[in-house]
């Protein structure tokens, strides 16, 4: 599986709408953490993935650049 990397256009949202680049990439590539193992981290990962997917959708629809 290829690792997800933050696209350049998304950098301006890092630290505001989504975590910094390093944390964001770590969350997007984490496929092992679950609620049973670490509930707070799992919730952070779900939140990050949701925010990233929203930004990607908005970017694809040309709502943001």
- DSSP for residue 8: G
pLDDT digits (tens, 9 = 90+) for 12-64: 998 888 999 999 999 999 999 999 989 999 999 999 999 999 999 999 999 99
Q: How many domains does the chain fold into?
A: 1
With respect to residue 16, please indicate whether it lies within any of the assigned structural domains. no
In a domain, 10, yes or no: no
Residues 6+ apart with CB under 8 A from 7: none
Is 18 part of any domain?
no
* pLDDT of 1 strictly over 80: no
Residue 59 structural domain: 34-65
What does the pLDDT read at residue 62? 95
Q: Which residue matches tokens 């696209």? A: 7
Look at residue 5 and tell me if it is in a domain.
Answer: no
Quickly list H helices, 1-65: 21-29, 35-60
């Amino acid at each position: 599986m290829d690792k997800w990397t933050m696209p350049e256009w998304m950098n301006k949202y890092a630290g505001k709408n989504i975590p910094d680049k390093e944390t964001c990439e770590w969350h997007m590539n984490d496929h092992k953490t679950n609620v049973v193992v670490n509930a707070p981290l799992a919730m952070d990962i779900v939140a990050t993935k949701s925010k990233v997917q929203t930004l990607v959708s908005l970017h694809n629809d040309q709502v943001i650049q």
